Amino acid sequence: MEVYLGIDVGSVTAKLAVLDSRDELVASLYLPTAGRPVEVVQQGLRQLRQQLPAEAEIRGVATTGSARYLAGVIVGADLVKNEITCQAVAAMHHIPEVQTVIEIGGQDSKIIIVRGGVVTDFGMNTVCAAGTGSFLDHQAARLHMSIEELSRRALESSRPVPIAGRCTVFAESDMVHKQQTGHRLEDIICGLCRALVRNYLAGVGSGKDIKPPVIFQGGVAFNQGIVRALGEALGMEIIVPPHHEVTGAVGAALMVHEDMAESRNASRFRGFGISDIEHETSSFECRACPVQCEVTCVSAGGRALAWWGGRCDMWEGGPIMKEPAS
């Protein structure tokens, strides 16, 4: 049984997805990163090994996300791709005629414009948390409720209260003020969802040609209050695909399946045993030129496995057996 593994390691969560030879999802995981990407990837591999049938053989591995290079070195990836490409591929696999992909994660958000099966434009927000899932998580914790309850109560609103959502600090202050003036909590939460959508469209979606079909991916798509607010703001149906929380990993697995089928090479996957190997990450300042880039290094057993992070290609391309420039 040949399978293909996609790993999406973001700043808040790590997603793993395994597809079979027909590109159907066999197993998936959605784990909090908690600032420990290496340990979480290893934990994910241990859990996947228990989920997969004994006859499953991984024929290809791809990594994506903000820690894609680090994860790629740890697992021995055959392919390393950016999040935009992987999210678009997953969306087109679900709905080939998709024209807009909205993806909102824990710490960043994206919009991808697709025309004729090709990505023609995209936008990202990696600076402000007002349009991301971490802001919703924070507000749910402040209100002493789960994110599931926050989603449910947003749908119970009949008169949403306007919330200033351009900044997380102002939004929270405005919510507290609205609570103090006696507004129903359901109306405040619904107003918060609308504020997040408004902030997303004004920032990430500004100037983008948003056309249906619109697919909403990422962990925030669990929140039905956000789904409804998006639909109302755009005046369009918002499609939430199955397993939307792991679409980045699914897209990576789809791409490595195609790549390995074309190349017919053996996978570089280091095996599930790497979950028991201790890895270390460090960084140094390259002094080969006046730019002095900060270069990241990952090592195991005292041996450097790979370097990356420079502005030139001096430290790129996987394992490079040389000493840092002094």
Residues 187-238: tens digit of each pLDDT: 988 988 888 888 889 888 989 999 999 999 998 899 999 999 999 999 999 9
pTM as predicted: 0.84
Residues 90-102: tens digit of each pLDDT: 999 999 999 999 9
Confidence of residue 171 (pLDDT cuts 50, 70, 90): confident
More confident residue, 56 or 281: 56
Distance in angstroms (rounded) separating the CA atoms of residues 13 and 61 = 19
Q: Domains in the chain and their CATH numbers?
A: 2-86+247-276 (3.30.420.40), 96-240 (3.30.420.40), 279-326 (no CATH)
Calculate mean pLDDT across residues 279-304: 82
More confident residue, 107 or 60: 60
Distance in angstroms (rounded) separating the CA atoms of residues 285 and 202 = 38
Q: Is the pLDDT of residue 321 over 50?
A: no
Q: Is the pLDDT of residue 1 over 80?
A: yes
Q: b/e per residue, 126-160, with b = 16+ CB within 10 A? A: eebbbbbbbbbbebbeebebebeebbbbbeebeeb
Q: Is the pLDDT of residue 158 over 90?
A: no
